[in-house]
């Protein structure tokens, strides 16, 4: 099961906040008026005050540097990637599509979850019409169940699959393929992106709680 966004982001935000706070507290404990190191330059002798001042500056540094939104976005992207892979499990045969899912942060305002598999959109959105025999034959080249066929035999089976999809409503006359003609043609086959977004709506609602937990460090 995918790690929840709250758990993943909470740990990352906590780490960022602790690091920033520790750095600031150390600065306040050693600061001198002769060597300015930030908005506050006076050494704080009282440990509690130094900790409080360090925490405030640590939070300000994290907020102002863009670290916090980036950590949140990275956590959202990583969680979405894991959830999407889980959503693909029911239709996964070779694992190629699941393995092609990756995530990343384009900048401090946008995150991405993408697939490098050329058929990712076709699986999610369906295909309009019937693919050509040539495309079916290329698909067959990647399937172990067709590996024993000669070139000519593969071509004949590809045409058989194409005509089965086109004229016989995929009655699977070849006995070699589980390719289905969608009823009606072009209907979405499996909206794994939508399924992921539906589950992520609950995760996104946890952003405020994650930030609040980090501020309590």
- The ranges assigned to domains in the chain are 5-118+192-215, 127-187
Average pLDDT estimate for 61-70: 77
Q: Which of 177, 108, 183 is nearest to 142 (CA)?
A: 177
Grade residue 132 by pLDDT with cuts at 50, 70 and 90: confident
Tokens encoding 81: 């990637």
| Locus of tokens 């907020």 | 63
Tokens linked to 108: 């401090």
Mean pLDDT estimate for the chain: 75
Query: Residue 117 pLDDT > 80, yes or no?
Result: yes
Instruction: Give the pLDDT of residue 131.
Output: 76
Quickly state the pLDDT bin for 133 (edges 50, 70, 90): confident
Q: What is the mean pLDDT of residues 167-177?
A: 51
Q: Provide the pLDDT for residue 99.
A: 92
């Amino acid at each position: 099961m995918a790690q929840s966004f709250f758990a993943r982001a909470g740990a990352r935000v906590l780490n960022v906040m602790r690091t920033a706070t520790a750095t600031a507290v150390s600065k306040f404990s050693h600061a001198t008026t002769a060597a300015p190191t930030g908005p506050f330059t006076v050494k704080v002798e009282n440990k509690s005050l130094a900790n409080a001042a360090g925490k405030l500056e640590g939070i300000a540094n994290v907020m102002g540097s863009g670290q916090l939104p980036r950590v949140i976005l990275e956590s959202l992207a990583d969680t979405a990637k894991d959830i999407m892979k889980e959503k693909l499990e029911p239709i996964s045969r070779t694992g190629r599509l699941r393995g092609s899912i990756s995530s990343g942060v384009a900048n401090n305002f946008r995150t991405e979850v993408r697939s490098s598999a050329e058929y990712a959109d076709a699986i999610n959105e369906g295909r309009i019409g019937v693919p050509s025999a040539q495309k079916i034959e290329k698909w067959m080249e990647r399937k172990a169940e067709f590996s024993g066929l000669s070139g000519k035999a593969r071509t004949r089976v590809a045409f058989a699959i194409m005509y089965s999809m086109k004229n016989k409503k995929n009655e699977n006359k070849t006995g070699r393929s589980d390719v289905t003609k969608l009823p009606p043609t072009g209907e979405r086959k499996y909206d794994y992106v939508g399924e992921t977004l539906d589950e992520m709506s609950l995760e996104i609602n946890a952003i405020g709680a994650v930030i609040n937990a980090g501020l309590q460090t």
